[in-house]
């Protein structure tokens, strides 16, 4: 599933789309539009003024209150093609043609994602948690949200209302970096562990962005190319392989309903 680093990478792929105008936008399936405050045709002739990421969402602002928001769900891809290239991929649900000879393709086999045509972005994101790479996500904030909580620390950092953008891959990797077992009750972390976890979350996300995200199965960047961070994963998807740090076998257990990978020896 695309998480923060993957959506950030896609966003950065689209820098040349800024100020390009939409010629037309076509939907092959209208049920991928999860909400529409305005008709898609209202975007025709409008330039993409700002493109930004919030959590695992990508926002295209076409001026004023015209926003097209995309979430890639489990298997979605969003990428640019030249306008004379033919679209051969299956499950293409939206094509937006721009006046810079590019077209933007939204493709999603499993359709857990979607498109929102939204006027009030602030309202749309009102319940979304803090951005983990921003300065206001710090040990103090992490300490505040975990205090007295009995749920596993992994479930807590996956809660999008508290921290936005972390999914299963980066939760497992950050907990390994911090030396904390994913099933530890959140409230049991010491101040030092909170500080280490906060740093690990930021480091793992930033390193993955440098490597253009993790391609485990479906994820592709905004040019439909695979990422590179799968080569740096230390626990995720590595169960029954040797821990890179101590050589013991990596475990996999279901914690909070999610398959979780960790080293019993390095994580306490």
**How many Cα atoms sit within 13 Å of 149 on the Cβ side?**
19
198 binds Zn ion (CB under 5 A): no
Rounded to whole angstroms, the Cα distance separating 51 from 160 reads 21
Element (H, E) at 33: strand 33-36
Footprint (CB under 5 A) of Zn ion, residues 217-246: 243, 245-246
Query: How many other C-beta atoms lie within 10 A of the C-beta of residue 84?
Result: 7
173 is catalytic: no
Judged by CB under 5 A, how many residues of this single chain contact Zn ion? Answer: 6
Footprint (CB under 5 A) of Zn ion, residues 81-110: none
250 binds Zn ion (CB under 5 A): no
Pick the catalytic residue from 5, 6, 8, 56. 56
Tell me how far, at minimum, the Cβ of 181 lies from Zn ion, in Å: 11
Rounded to whole angstroms, the Cα distance separating 154 from 130 reads 16
252 is catalytic: no
Closer of 56 and 234 to Zn ion (Cβ): 234
3 is catalytic: yes
265 binds Zn ion (CB under 5 A): yes
Q: Which residue is nearest to Zn ion (CB)?
A: 243
Q: Is 221 exposed, middle or buried (0-12, 13-18, 19+ CB in 10 A)?
A: buried
Give me the phi and psi of 40, to 5 degrees please.
-55, -35
Q: Any idea which residues carry the catalytic annotation? A: 2-3, 56, 258
Where along the sequence are the contacts to Zn ion (CB under 5 A)?
243, 245-246, 263, 265-266
């Amino acid at each position: 599933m695309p998480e923060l680093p993957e959506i950030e990478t896609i966003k950065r792929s689209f820098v040349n789309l800024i100020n390009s105008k939409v010629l037309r936008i076509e939907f092959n399936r209208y049920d991928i539009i999860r909400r529409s405050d305005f008709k898609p045709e209202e975007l025709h002739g409008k330039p993409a003024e700002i493109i930004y990421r919030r959590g695992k969402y990508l926002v295209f602002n076409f001026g004023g209150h015209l926003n097209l928001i995309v979430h890639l769900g489990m298997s979605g891809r969003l990428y640019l093609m030249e306008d004379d290239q033919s679209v051969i991929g299956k499950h293409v649900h939206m094509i937006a043609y721009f006046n810079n000879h590019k077209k933007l393709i939204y493709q999603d086999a499993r359709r857990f994602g979607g498109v929102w045509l939204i006027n009030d972005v602030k309202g749309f994101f009102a319940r979304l948690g803090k951005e983990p790479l921003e300065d206001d996500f710090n040990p103090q904030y992490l300490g505040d949200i975990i205090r007295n909580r009995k749920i596993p620390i992994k479930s807590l950092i996956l809660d999008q209302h508290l921290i936005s953008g972390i999914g299963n891959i980066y939760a497992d990797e950050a907990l390994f970096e911090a030396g904390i077992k994913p099933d530890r009750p959140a409230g049991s972390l010491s101040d030092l562990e909170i500080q280490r976890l906060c740093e690990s979350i930021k480091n793992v996300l930033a390193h993955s962005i440098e490597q253009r995200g993790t391609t485990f199965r479906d994820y592709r960047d905004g040019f439909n190319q695979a990422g590179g961070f799968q080569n740096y994963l230390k626990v995720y998807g590595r169960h029954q392989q040797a821990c890179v740090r101590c050589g013991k076998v990596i475990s996999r257990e279901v914690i909070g309903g999610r398959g979780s990978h960790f080293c019993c020896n390095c994580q306490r």
